[in-house]
Each structure stands twice: as structure tokens, then as C-alpha cells.
Structure 1
Amino acid sequence: MHLTGQTDLTLIVFLLVYVAMGFGTLPGFKVDRTGAAIVGMLAMLTMGSITSEAAWDAIDYRTVGMLFGLMVVSAAFAVSGFYAWTAQRVAALPVSPPILLAVLIAVGGGLSSLLTNDVVVVAMTPLLVSLTLARGLNPVPFLLAFCFAANSGSAGTLIGSPQNMIAAQGLGLSFDGFLKVAGIPALISLPLVWAVVAFMYRKRWSIPKTAETDIPTAPAEEAPKFDMGETIKGAIVASGVIVAFIFSPWPRELIALAAAGVLLISRRTSSKDMLKNVDGNLLLLIMGLFVVNAAFANTGLPQEILARLREAGIDLNHPFSLFIVGGTLSNIVGNNPTVMLLVPYLHPGETANALGAALALGTGFSSNMIIFGSLAGIIVVEQAAACGIKISFGEFAKAGIPVTLVSMALAAVWILFMAGF
């Protein structure tokens, strides 16, 4: 593989950006993932690895627009107090800890499949800490199960997570087509999450009395009051989005943006409060990676690497190979960067739905293995720490590894079945 000086520089910048994706920061610098993507994009432009016109063209405005619109839709439920109301109602149920765990998993998986999973996790994690502590319960198994359910449940629908939206746009998948190929294993994964977490914490449901006085019993911020009218408005708009996704010929990004516009116009809810729940950093990260990946593609190296992988028997356009590669990479650089890296080199045809399922299930299920495998995992751990609950890397992985293994085994059988094996 012969490299020129320009190609060398492009490759170095690309690798540094993805090192930051894996570690969360660029080692030695206070540059997070979003910062690394933006700096990498600017470096590619400055070095001439990509022209400004090509950089603009590389940013898929359809994906960014749809993601922004759906974030606003999900934010409507946070601002209306629906997430807080749901958490309070669930935590107050007069049931045993294993049953409460099952209910939280169902709620987490269900909400995340219909609304952006990261917003759901941000809104509910502090509340779950407070409400489980109020019952004298150990918050850790409930937080872990909720996180795992959010990742696994969101894998089943096109609108469940950012990486699903990116994959669906890149592969041209329909809402109902995506649901048919990914919905069943995502649904089955939820009882598997319950079985693993319930077994591992079967003797640790309660907080040791000696530790009770050292833990705060209130979330870091006061939860918004429940507004029935705004919640109903959000539910009507969200339902309209799903119906339009399935039955209308309109572009999905325009549907999502129109829904966002409707929700941002309100007499009772400030648009400023709504937009606080939109993850602008994630949107910037995605735009930066579009440019970085396009500049790297200009070198011809990805095409050569893929050709050599095919010679070695690894064809990314085979659903099972894509499932394994996507699942592995998502625990190295994160699920969103993984999907963005792989989608441009896929050739959807008759196998488009199977490839979409392989990406969604591989990156969704495997991201439960370690904290940094998904944004949801990072959010849960950081939000819990802000409330005085420490979830160590080892504690997360101790439950995350078996959850991932059983879920990935389920998905592998499903992918092989779809691929005709």
C-alpha cells in the first residue's frame, strides 16, 4: 500500500479523530469527541484533503435534519414532565424489586423505541436514582437495566437511536421495513436483560443501612411538573410523525422538521427550554465525521482495505459479517461513529433491510458491554455520579458483558436466519 505525503497526513488526522472517538478525549488534550470531529474536519479542509464544496456535499443534511426534528419531538415529553411523571408512577408501584425491574425495562425499551433513547435516559436517570433510594432500594441494578433496555429496545425501530436514523437514511430503509427486520429481536432482548440483571443482583436489591446516610435522596435538578395538555400535544405530533413515516411519500427529514416546528410553537412551553434538550454536540459530531470520513474516502485507502477484507472472506455487504464488524467497532469508537464509517461502503439492494438490521442490532446490542460503548451508558454513569451513586467500569461491565453476549447470540441467530443460513 503506497502512500503519498498528502495521504499520510489525511490518514494521521483520520486516526487521531477516531482515537478520540474511542477514548472520549484526545489523549493529552482537553478535546472531547465533538471537538475532535470539528478539529479533524477543519484540518482536512486546511490540508486540502477535501474541498469546501465537497465538504458541504459530504454532510448529509437529511440525516441531520431528521435527527434534529426527532430530538425536538422527544424533548417535548421531557419539558412537559411526562418522563418525570412516568418514573414516579413506575417507582411507586407496590411490587417486589424483580417485578419493578421488569416494569422499568419495559418502560425504558418502549420509550426508547419511539423516542430518541439518549433524551429518554437523560430525563429519567436522576429521577430513578431519587425514587429507588426513597424506597430503600439499591439504584444500580435499576439504572443498569434501564440503560441496557434503552439501547436494546431502541435497536428495533428506525427512530430509536441516532445510528438507526443514519443507517436507514444511508440504506434507504422504510420505517415498517426496518421494524419487520429488527423489531422482533429487540423485543425479545428485553426479557433477556431482565433475566441477567435480576440474577446478578438477586441478593443486592437493598442499600446497606450503613451507607444510607451517605447518599443524597434528591436528583440534581428539580423535575418539571407534569403538563397533561403539552404531553397530549406531543403524543399527537409523535403519532403523526410515525404514521407519516409509514404511509406518506414525503421526505422523512421534512416530516421530522415540520413536527419540530409545530412543537416549538407553544403558549405554555418556552422554545428555549425545548432546545435545551436537543443534543447540539451530537449534531456537530455527526457533521464533523461526515467530512472527516469523506476526506479519508478520497485517499482510496478504505476501498483497498475493503478489497483485502473480501479476499480474507470478510464481506461487509454480507449481513452477518457486517453484524460482527459493526458490533466490534462500536465498542472501540462508539456506535454512531461506527455506523457513519461503514454505511458509505455498503451496497444496498435486495439485502438492504438485512444490512440495516445487522447494523442496528450489532451496534445496539454490543453497546451494552462497557460504559463507553454508547452515549446512553455514559449518560447513566455521569448522571448517577452527580446524584451520589457511583457505577464503576467493572460494575457496569460485570452486568453488561453477559447482557451483551446473550443479546448478540440472539441477534446472530436472527441475522443468519435472514441471510438464508
Structure 2
Amino acid sequence: MTEPAHQTAPAHQTLPETLGLHMSDSTLMVLAISLFVLTYAMILLEKYVHRTVAALLGACAVMVVGLLTPDQAWGSIDFNTIFLLFGMMNIVNVLSRSGFFDLVARRAMVLTRGEPVRVLWIFSLLTALFSAFLDNVTTVLFMAPVVVTVVTRLGLKPIPYLIAVILASNTGGTATLVGDPPNIIIGSVAGKGFGEFLVNVAPYATIATFVGIAMMHLLMKLRGDLATTGASARLQQILTDNQPIKTDPKLMKQALAIFAVTLVLFMVGHPIGLEAGLIALTTSTFLLLIADLSPVELFEKVEWATLLFFMGLFIVVGALEHVGVFEQVATALTGAIGGDIGLGILLVGFSSAIISGFVDNIPFTISMASVLKELQTTMGARMDPLWWALSLGACLGGNLTLIGASANIVVSDIAAREGHPLGFGQFMRYATPVALLTVVLALGLYYLVFQLTG
């Protein structure tokens, strides 16, 4: 009996194979690294190439040269992150249409009394607190529009305050199991619970948060970002403005109810097998069902450029993972560590911070967590400090560059939509000094405590 055609058809060949080019593993690795560097260079040249176009060009090149097949490229995309972003963007857009952010902005202006320093500290601390118990992407989707509204009405430059929100979201998210994706990965692979993160990571993340805000305060003061340009009479008028804000109470109640349910599910979903992305996609879709809104109009407000940027970058980084770059780096680190846990804290922590600043920390954390799990089989609980070093490095390192963490890109696109584009170099002038200080401080303190306590 003749087998069906689809069973006997030859396997799909890549373009290089069709042309008779058979590349060795080392050649594939060099090619993957080269394409990543070229993609990153295009992202840096944001004046000439939009970062979404750069990421998509990199993703196309990865598939054209045969590093990944289209199916493998599709599989390298972290759809948990994509679904989370898409779902929360829709919920936040509905909240915006209901007038919720205008109400919050007015209350916030009264609370800060129009003082730039109070704006910086209050919004940064609120962002850090929310990011510890929600995921930090959800937090910035909620906070960034409010910050833009407040600071523009006060006559301040929005970009430094938005950067402060980004930094606080990443440092605050470091503190708990649910605050940042690397922690969720570590908790899952290592079998660590919410309480263990509170004990072993939260103290250092908390110190990093306060020091980071203080450093941002100093940078903004030196650059004149804390000087208000509004006249006292104008400021007083803003603070005492009692003109009614146009709202849709029914829509606001629906959106807030769904938002609250989403947050609760974020807290309890992971242990029962519900990932954050699935939760956000499901609850946002239910909101579309009950709200009297056109999905077409709502989807026009989705930051598609952000979603496509992440998808392209996931594919480019997926090629590095596929050819074994991350595995080799992680294996080399493990070999260098040997049995010295103190040295391991420094190597794992600082290398994770540096790498996470320039590539997405999710695939790196997955690779490194796999290596640490193997190490755990021979060393047992003695190597637990390496898990916490990985957490501190991967999460805090996301503040090094504009593409270091999901929250950075999301805020950048919100800023651009509001007419305040955030450049790569502009971000690094503020964020990189803060990131370096907080990484060194958190990992240095953790290393010191380990040496003192054993």
C-alpha cells in the first residue's frame, strides 16, 4: 500500500542547504552572534531605523540563512509575554476610555502638591510597590499614562520621570516571585516559593529600589529636571481645578472589576497552572464581551509596534539559544565556579546582569536555570545562593539599556504615542548609572552577607 504523499515528502530544506552550503556548528554559532550584533546595532541607530523594523529584519535574516526554520522561529517566541502585553494593553485602553486615568492624575497632582521631587518619589515608590505584587509590565501600563498626564500639566519634562518609573518597576519587581519573569522561571525550575524570595531577594531589592530612586533624584537635580516651569498662579489653578472630568462610570466599574480579578489571578494562577499571559488574554477578552465597545476601535490603540518588536527580538535571541550560545556561556560559568559558592555568586550575578542588559533575560534565565538545576543534583541545597544571585542579576540588569526588559520597551512606546519619544542613548544617560550602582550594591551586599553568615 502506497503511503500518503505528505509522509514521503522530503524534509524542508533551508536556503543554504538548497544552495549546497552545509555549515558547521561553529559557523552557525558565529553567524547567530553576528546577526544579533547587527540587529542590536540597527536598534542603536534609532535615528535611521525604527527598532521594530530592526528586530523584524533580524528575525527575517535568521530564517533566511537557515539558523531557524519558520516553525522553530515561531516556537522561540514567548507567547506568555505577548499575550500578557496584548491583554493588559486592552484592559488599560478600556480604563483610559472610561476617564479613569484623568481622575487618578488629578488626585495625584493634589497629593504631590505640584512639587517635582514629590512627583518623582511618590510615583517611583508606588511603581516599585505595585511591581512587587503584580508583574512589572502590568504596572507600567497602568502608571505611565498617569505620569505623562501629571508631569505635562505641571510643565515638567516627562522623559526623566518615565525613566524613573521604568527603573522602579524593574527594581521593585525583583523582590518577589511574581514581580518579574526571571523570578517566575527560577521559582518553577528550582521549586522556590513566594516566601523564599521575600527572605532571600526582597531585602536587597528594597535597598536597591531606594538607592536607585535617590540616584535618579541626584541625576535629575544635576540636569535641571526638578525645576518646575509653571508659574505659581498657574500651578494653583491646576491644583484647585474642580471642573468635572468626563467619565463613563459603568465602563470604569467594569474595567476596574476585570482589572482586580486579573490581579488576583496573577497572584494565585501560577501554582495552579495558569500563566500570566493566559490570564490577561482571557480576562481582557471577557471585558470586550461585557463592555459596549467596538473591538476594532479598541485594537487600533494596541501598541502593535511593541508586540512585533518583541516577537522579532525573541526570534533573533532564539537563534542564539538554538545554536547553543547560552548553553556554552552557562557551562563555562559553571566550570569556573567549581565548588566555590562565593565566587559563583559574583560570576552568576554579574554575568547575568550584563547579559540581561543586552538580550532578553527570559531565554538566558531559562538556560542558566537549567545549568544550575544540574549543579543542584550534585551540590544540593548548598548552591541555593546561586539562585538568588541569578534573580538579582537578571532582574536588576534589565535597567542597563532600553531593550533590557519588557517594561522598558512598553514605556518607551507609550511615551512615543504621547509625543515624547524616548531615545536609546537618552535612556542610558539616566538609567545605566542607576543600574550599575544598584547591581553592584545588591550583589555586593548579598555576597557580603553570605561570607559573614556562611
Does TM-score exceed 0.5, indicating one fold?
yes
Preserved CA contact (<8 Å) 1:173 1:353: no
* Equivalent runs, 1:355-366 vs 2, <5 Å: 355-366=386-397
Corresponding residue pairs, total: 395
Question: What is the identity, as a one-letter code, of the residue corresponding to 1:194?
Answer: I
For residues 61-210 of structure 1, the aligned pairs below 5 Å read 64-65=79-80, 68-69=83-84, 72=87, 75-81=90-96, 85-95=103-113, 96-122=115-141, 124-202=143-221, 204-207=225-228
Q: What CA deviation, in whole Å up to 9, does each residue of 1:338-369 have, x standing for no partner?
A: 43554443326336864443233213323323
3-state SS of paired residue (1:346): helix
Note closer, same or farther for the CA distance 1:383–1:71 as it changes in structure 2 (3 Å cut): closer
Match of 1:236 among 258, 261, 266: 261
Q: Quickly say closer, same or farther: Cα 1:311–1:257, change in 2 above 3 A.
A: closer
Matched with 1:251 is 273
Residue 367 (str. 1) matches residue 398 (str. 2) = yes
Answer with 382-391 or 328-337: which moved more.
382-391
Amino acid at match of 2:439: M
Contact 2:154/2:228 (<8 A) preserved: no
The C-alpha deviation readout for 1:275-332, integer Å capped at 9, x for no partner, is 93686436634763675245313xxx76665555555558998343211101111233
Alignment CA distance shift 1:398-1:308 (3 Å): closer
Distance in 2 between the 1:408 and 1:225 partners? 44
Equivalent position of 1:345 in the other structure: 371
User: How far apart are residue 80 of structure 1 and its match?
Assistant: 2.2
Counterpart residue identity of residue 100, structure 1: V
Shift of 1:234: 1.8
Letter paired with 1:192:
V
Counterpart amino acid of residue 288 in structure 1: I
Distance 1:225 1:352 in 2: 54
Shift of 1:127: 4.2
State which drifts further: 408-417 or 28-37. 28-37
Q: Which blocks of at least 5 consecutive residues in structure 2 are unaligned?
A: 1-21, 232-245
Computing the radius of gyration from Cα coordinates, the structure with the larger value is 2
Corresponding residue for residue 400 of structure 1? 431
Give secondary structure in 1 for the equivalent of 2:155: coil
SS in 2 for 1:5: coil
Does the CA contact (< 8 Å) of 1:114 and 1:157 recur in 2?
A: yes
Matching of residue 323 in structure 1 with residue 342 in structure 2: no
Q: Shift of residue 268 of structure 1?
A: 0.8
Q: Secondary structure at the match of 1:101?
A: helix
Would you say the 8 A contact 1:196–1:403 is kept in 2? yes
The answer to whether the Cα contact below 8 Å between 2:330 and 2:368 also exists between their aligned partners in 1 is no
For structure 1, the 5+ residue unaligned runs are: 211-222
Listed one character per residue, the Cα deviations across residues 242-264 of structure 1 (whole Å, up to 9, x for unaligned) are 1344xx5x2243x7625642442
% identical equivalent positions: 19
Cα distance in 1 for residues equivalent to 2:278 and 2:149: 34
State the secondary structure of the residue aligned to 1:159.
coil
Aligned-partner SS, 1:136: coil
Distance 1:354 1:209, change over 3 A: same
Over the aligned positions, Cα root-mean-square deviation in angstroms equals 4.4
TM-score w.r.t. length of structure 1: 0.73
